[in-house]
Amino acid sequence: MCTEDSYMVKQSIAIKSSFIHFLNETNMVFIPKGILWVEDGKVKALAPEDELILQLPKNIKIQDYTGKLVLPGFVDGHVHAVQTQAIASYGKQLLDWLETYTFPLEQRFEDPSFALPAIQFFFNQLLKNGTTTAAIFPSKHVDATAILFKEALRLNMRIVAGKTSMDRNAPEGLCDTTSMSFQENEALIEEFNQKGRLNYALTPRFAITSTDEQLSALSKIKKNRPNIAVQTHLSENIDEIETTKKLFPSSKNYLDIYDSKGFLGKGSLMAHAIYLEEQEWERLAETQTSIVHCPTSNLFLGSGLFNMKKCRDYNIPLALGSDVGGGLSFSMLKTAAEAYKIAALQNIEFTARNAFYLLTLGGAKALNQDAYIGNFEVGKEADFVVLDTGSTELMQKRLSNTDDIDEILFVLMMLGDERNIHSVYLKGK
């Protein structure tokens, strides 16, 4: 029988390992022999082992990951939960790929018995790859979206998501009416927003698949609930931009379509942003709207090369996104490696520190979740990933001649994948 006292006992665990996290973009903390003390799912302390060991409660469980590297869990800033089975589908470019593979697959999520195992598989892939927080596009279906939220709640995962809204230029089965769009979003917000670690985001797919009326209906929701973010696609592909301009001839530019509806602001997420005009960069900076760079997708779909330097110069919040199924991997390590190559093609510096910042605190900031996650500050939720840098013979060989942490991180970024993910913790479990 439980005594009153045992109800009050706090659940504690201590992790012994090497640790890396960021206090800000330029300040990386590396603790070669440290202890992370987690209490009730939150960070109680992180310090060198010899400082903390004597302060730990007597009977605390100590999990020993000596030889491994512990980082805050990775953030995937843009991923589609309903495209896993369309990954690596041969297509021409974006619009053809959407029509041929993506839309037919997304229609199948109307059936909850198809949606549930597909969404469970999706979350399993995220976690296997060390991703503990993601901004997710489900399909347009209310039941499938509810399944997604319930699964995240069951796993106790911090996510940003919302039903994908479309009402034109897509198969009938994927289109809403304006009033449906309004009512279904409102109902989903009421049921799931801020429940556990769930965050609702209005999710108009992109301007091509929404009429002005639908965008206005979503705009009304946003006005009434200014804290709800918006996620969408922006300026990814040349044909997409041309079509968009024809559909919205009076808009100043692509971004203005979203701006005029009040969709920009902190925590709003614009995926891709490859072909921005100067005014669009300025407006993103002014409103501190986030960009999500999706390198594996941009290469696979032949979309173009994202200009990370410009994004830095304008001080626009940035996350990296896998964009599966346009993207080719759930691994944020692989995603970072492709971001490196896209930067290299443009002679832009992109160090391992830059990459791991974006995968952790930078991504958390872009999603406006940095009050809860992103580093090991005291009080933050203890989502973390235990990395094994020697998971392949090649990596072992390559790293056998260095103990320089920047070099280790760079090799991890360029050669790493899900084999390097030893364990993943959500709120200390």
Site residues (vs ligand GUN, CB under 6 A): 80, 94, 98, 102, 205-206, 233, 236, 297, 323, 326
Characterize 235-249 residue by residue with b for buried, 16 or more Cβ atoms within 10 angstroms of its Cβ, and e for exposed: bbbeebbebbeebbe
Instruction: Confirm if 428 and 382 have CB atoms less than 8 A apart.
Output: yes
How near is the Cβ of 206 to ligand GUN at its closest, in Å? 4
The structure tokens listed for 12 are 């504690």
**Look-up of token digits 């969404």:** 119
State the angle between helix axes of 332-345 and 405-415 in degrees (0 to 180), rounded to the nearest 10: 100
Which of 87, 189, 205 lies closest to 137 in space, CA to CA? 205
* 370 scored as a contact of Zn ion (CB under 5 A): no
Closer residue to ligand GUN (CB): 265 or 304:
304
| Mode of pairing for the β-strands spanning 158-161 and 164-165 | unpaired
Cα(270)–Cα(52) distance, integer angstroms: 42
Q: Which does 236 bind (CB under 5 to 8 A by kind): Zn ion, ligand GUN, none?
A: ligand GUN
Cα(18)–Cα(67) distance, integer angstroms: 7
Closer residue to ligand GUN (CB): 233 or 353:
233
Closer residue to ligand GUN (CB): 237 or 360:
237
Cα(79)–Cα(138) distance, integer angstroms: 9
How near is the Cβ of 228 to ligand GUN at its closest, in Å? 20
Classify the C-alpha dihedral 200-270-358-129 as positive or negative. positive
Omega prior to 327 cis, within 30 of 0: no
How near is the Cβ of 368 to ligand GUN at its closest, in Å? 22
Tell me phi and psi for residue 378, to 5 degrees. Answer: -55, 130
Closer residue to ligand GUN (CB): 185 or 389:
185
The single-letter DSSP state of residue 330 is: S
How near is the Cβ of 380 to ligand GUN at its closest, in Å? 31
User: What residue is closest to Zn ion based on CB?
Assistant: 323
| Mode of pairing for the β-strands spanning 131-137 and 74-80 | parallel
User: What residue is closest to ligand GUN based on CB?
Assistant: 326
Q: Which does 94 bind (CB under 5 to 8 A by kind): Zn ion, ligand GUN, none?
A: ligand GUN
For residues 166 to 205, the per-residue mask of contacts with Zn ion, x marking binding by CB under 5 A and - elsewhere, is: ----------------------------------------
Closer residue to ligand GUN (CB): 338 or 383:
338
Q: Which does 231 bind (CB under 5 to 8 A by kind): Zn ion, ligand GUN, none?
A: none
Closer residue to ligand GUN (CB): 289 or 297:
297
Closer residue to ligand GUN (CB): 295 or 374:
295
How near is the Cβ of 137 to Zn ion at its closest, in Å? 6
Instruction: Confirm if 372 and 43 have CB atoms less than 8 A apart.
Output: no
How near is the Cβ of 384 to ligand GUN at its closest, in Å? 29
How near is the Cβ of 353 to Zn ion at its closest, in Å? 27
Q: Which does 205 bind (CB under 5 to 8 A by kind): Zn ion, ligand GUN, none?
A: ligand GUN
Residues that bind Zn ion (rule: CB under 5 A) add up to a total of 1
Residue 203's DSSP bridge partners are 164
Omega prior to 325 cis, within 30 of 0: yes
User: Where in 288-327 is the site for Zn ion (CB under 5 A)?
Assistant: 323
The structure tokens listed for 220 are 């009304």
How near is the Cβ of 87 to ligand GUN at its closest, in Å? 11
Cα(332)–Cα(348) distance, integer angstroms: 20
Q: Which does 98 bind (CB under 5 to 8 A by kind): ligand GUN, Zn ion, none?
A: ligand GUN
Instruction: Confirm if 258 and 216 have CB atoms less than 8 A apart.
Output: no
How near is the Cβ of 37 to ligand GUN at its closest, in Å? 41
User: Where in 108-137 is the site for Zn ion (CB under 5 A)?
Assistant: none
Closer residue to ligand GUN (CB): 98 or 146:
98
Instruction: Confirm if 230 and 268 have CB atoms less than 8 A apart.
Output: yes
How near is the Cβ of 13 to Zn ion at its closest, in Å? 36
Q: Which does 206 bind (CB under 5 to 8 A by kind): Zn ion, ligand GUN, none?
A: ligand GUN
Closer residue to Zn ion (CB): 31 or 215:
215
The structure tokens listed for 412 are 């991890």
If 0-12 CB within 10 Å is exposed, 13-18 middle and 19+ buried, where does residue 335 land?
buried
The structure tokens listed for 355 are 């990459």
Query: Under DSSP, is residue 376 helix (H, G, I), strand (E, B) or coil?
Result: coil
Q: Which does 77 bind (CB under 5 to 8 A by kind): ligand GUN, Zn ion, none?
A: none
Closer residue to ligand GUN (CB): 233 or 283:
233
Summarize as ranges the residues that interact with Zn ion (CB under 5 A): 323
